[in-house]
Chains A and B, each alone.
Chain A
Amino acid sequence: MRRLVLIAVPYLWLLALFLVPFAIVLKISLSDTALSIPPYAPTLDFSAGWEGIRSFFAELDFDNFVWLTQDDLYWKAYLSSLSIALVSTAITLLVGYPIAYGMARAPEEWRPTLMMLVILPFWTSFLIRVYAWMGILSSEGFLNQLLLWVGIVDEPLTILNTNTAVYIGIVYTYLPFMILPIYAALDRLDGSLIEAAEDLGCSRLTAFWLVTIPLSRNGIVAGCFLVFIPALGEFVIPSLLGGSGTLMIGKVLWEEFFSNRDWPVASAVAVVLLLILVIPIVLFQRNQQKQAEADQ
C-alpha cells in the first residue's frame, strides 16, 4: 500500500503534467486554425456522445504538416537550426577540449577550484550571460572599441544581430556542458598509458591522437550531445543576439504562437522538432548506457 502511494504520486504527476499536455499538442497539431476561442477546431464535444467523438476524429487531418513542407520558412528554419547547432557544437568542442585537458593536467590541489570556476557560470542566470554579450558585441560595444583602439579595424564591425553572435552566444553559454564530461573522462585516464605510448616511440602529438582522444571519446560524445540537443531548440540566444535573418525553429515556434496566434501550426512545428530530436536523444542514451556498463 505504502509502495503504491510512493509510485503513484510522482507517476500521476508526470502523466498529468508531461504526457497529457504532449498528447494535447499532438491533437491540436492535427486540428485546423479557427477564428474562435480556443483558436482551433474541432473541439471534443462529449455531450454529443459517440457521434460527437466520431465526427471529432473525422475532422483531424495532417493539413498543418503539409503546410510545413509547403511554406519554405519552416524547412529553412529546421535546416538552419540544425546547421547552427552542429557548427556551434563543433566550435564548443574545439574551445572546450583544451580547457578540460588543462584542468585534468593541473596540479591536484587546484582541481576543485577549477571545477568550481567552470560550474559557477552554469548556476548564473542563462539570460544574464546572454545579455552580457549584447553590450560586448554591439557596434559601439566593448569588442569594437578594443579593435578600433588596437587598430585592427577602421570602422566598427557588425556582429550583434548576426549569426556570428548566435554562435558566440551558444558556445559561451553551453561551454560548461562540454568541459565537464570531457574533464571527467580525462581525469580517469591512466597517465601511464600515455607514457607507454611515448616509450614505444610515439611523439607527444601522436600519443595524444592515438591514446588520449580515443580514451576520452565517451566524454566528447556526451559533451557534444549536451550542447547539440538544447542548442537545436534554443530561443533566447537567437532572439537576443541573432538578427532578422537568423532562422531558428525555437524562435519560429514562439512567434507562431505569440505573434500569429496560430496554435495548430505552432503545435505541428513542436511535433516535428521533437521527431528530429528523437535521433540524437536515442544515440545519447545509448552512449550513456554503454559508458555505465563500461564503468561496472
Chain B
Amino acid sequence: MVTHEEILKIAKLAKLSVSADELVQLTKDMSEIIGFADTINAVSPENSDFDNINHLSNVFRDDVVAPSFDSGEILKNAPEQEDGYFLVKKRA
C-alpha cells in the first residue's frame, strides 16, 4: 500500500508538483503498480529461473585495451564544451 506521504516524497525527489486531485489518483495507480511488482518479487532471485530470458550467464570481455574515441568525437553532441571538457551549469 502506498501512502500520500510517499507519493509527495517521490514527487519532491523528481521535482514534480502534484495537485490534490492528482495525489489521490497517483496514490491509487502507484499502489496497483507496486502490487503488480510484488508478483515479480515473489520469484526468488536465487532460483534457477533467475537468469534472463536468454538463459545466458558469464558473458565477459578480456582485459585488453582498444583505442578510445577522439575527444572531438566524444564532445560532438555536447551542448557546451570548453578546453576538452563537457561544460554544465553548476548544481547544488
A and B interact physically:
no
Q: Which residues of A contact B (CB under 8 A)?
A: none
